[in-house]
Chains A and B, each alone.
Chain A
């Protein structure tokens, strides 16, 4: 998959402080163009993946696969799934990068 232009926001519901947060990635023509972290309503993105904070935490700690989380309804994808499938390999790599960032939950 080359020269991808797309955007995806992960929406973390029920964060420990009760708030909703988002992490948005934007790619333009294959280049990583933007990363946003914020609180509340996320900006427009081609794909939105929403789920509870604890679900994302389990995925990042490799206790739960994102695939299983989607299949069981723990994560909710908004966007064209056919296009999402084309971009799945990129999303997987992004998740692996995220998993390497030291974090405490």
Chain B
């Protein structure tokens, strides 16, 4: 990829930035294991347990399960000497192989090795496990293992143009998925369709448009109909085999991936005939989404925004139906949920006082749920924060479409 490619990311510069931060913190070798770190440094999707070893100088070396090592090398910017496979063979298991490799980068029996430890509500986070930590500590006698993930977290907070353009393209693809769903539902097309079928036809349209996969670990495309849209606090709805029904809401939350950039946009429907009460809920939701998008900008904090939006919902009499969160973090594949650094009142959750900076990219995520009436709506859209506004990347028109 050339520097004038819209999706160009300067990965060698990222490695140099990590190495500079390592030097400041006295870290000799960085052992990355989180999926977000792997994506951010390798420019390749690493679905199997993988590691990246970043020395004090020079190129990083990636390690992954041998069955996927050649593919990872083919996709990444690194050459075959810097992508290694591990396997259950003498000298080739991940602990021995990587520990031996790290030792070659360090003076005999000493050195500080940065690792990635912590916790996450995101299952594929990839922190070093307790077992791995103990085995590496044992295999690296005399070395100090220190938690260093903040180095990558800090550097990854502001997104560069190539990253944002990848998200723009993934969002464009998601919009194609939404159009395919709308086209399939119209004119009675919804009759007999199931949630899984909606998920599949959207996936087909998005893959035709170039999406690599429906990346979300929540079951790919999340589709909910009827009472499933209104589950209490529910913002996770893997598609079920439930058939769409007249008079019910339908929530369509699609995910596409383009070069590790992630599209994530939810659109909502009322399958007709809709009642005035359903339309009241629908208007509440589109109004609060509009206001939220108008309010997001650099300088605001999650708690400021939540306070303003819940205030609005309270005035309009629907605060009881709003889940009081309006965002989640996002980055290249594997970087999901927490926004910014691990510096909030609850370890490894978003700091509600995090002050957004220009160039941050988050998912504006809102959930409306009224379980007593079996109705709910979801909005998700990647937004780039600018000084005086936010830029929603998915352009599919905001509305709750009534389908007949």
Contacts and interface: CB of A to CB of B under 8 A. Distances in A.
Interface of A: 50-51, 69-78, 80-83, 85
Given A78-B100, A80-B85, A82-B73, 5 more contacts: A70-B90, A70-B92, A77-B89, A77-B90, A81-B85
A80 to B, nearest CB: 5
25 contacts: A50-B91, A51-B90, A70-B89, A70-B90, A70-B92, A71-B88, A71-B89, A72-B90, A75-B90, A76-B91, A77-B90, A77-B91, A77-B92, A78-B91, A80-B84, A81-B69, A81-B84, A81-B85, A81-B89, A81-B92, A82-B66, A82-B70, A82-B80, A85-B66, A85-B85
B155 interface: no
Main secondary structure of the interface of B (DSSP, over half): mixed
A69 B91 CA distance: 12
B87 interface: yes
Contacts of A81: 66, 69, 84-87, 89, 92
Contacts of A71: 88-89
B290 interface: no
B83 interface: yes
B88 to A, nearest CB: 7
A3 B154 CA distance: 46
Give the most central of A70, A73, A74, A81: most B CB within 10 Å: A81
Contacts of B85: 80-82, 85
Interface in B87-145: 87-92, 100
B81 interface: yes
A68 to B, nearest CB: 10
Interface of B: 66, 69-70, 73, 80-81, 83-92, 100
Nearest to A80: B84
A71 B93 CA distance: 10
Nearest to A83: B80
Contacts of B81: 80
Give the most central of A50, A51, A69, A83: most B CB within 10 Å: A83
A67 to B, nearest CB: 9
A88 B79 CA distance: 20
Contacts of B89: 70-71, 73, 77, 81
Nearest to A48: B91
Give the most central of B66, B70, B81, B89: most A CB within 10 Å: B89
A77 B91 CA distance: 5
A69 B84 CA distance: 21
A105 B88 CA distance: 29
A72 to B, nearest CB: 8
Contacts of B91: 50, 76-78
A73 B88 CA distance: 8
B84 to A, nearest CB: 5
A80 B80 contact: yes
Nearest to A55: B90
Contacts of A77: 89-92
A73 B90 contact: yes
Contacts of B86: 81
Given A81-B66, A81-B85, A74 B90 contact: yes
Nearest to A72: B90
Nearest to B73: A82
B76 to A, nearest CB: 13
Given A81-B69, A82-B73, A76 B90 contact: yes
